[in-house]
Amino acid sequence: MNKQNAKGQRLAALFLLGNLLFNYPLLTLFNRADMVAGIPLLYLYVFGAWALLIVLLACVVERR
Half-sphere CA count of 6, side-chain side, radius 13 A: 6
What domain range includes position 58?
3-62
DSSP at 63: -
**pLDDT, mean over the chain:** 94
- 14 contacts: CB under 8 Å, gap ≥ 6: 53, 56, 57, 60
**pLDDT surpasses 90 at 1:** no
pTM: 0.87
The structural domain count of the chain equals 1
Question: Which SS3 state, helix, strand or coil, does residue 19 take?
Answer: helix
Are residues 10 and 60 in contact, defined by beta-carbon separation less than 8 angstroms?
yes
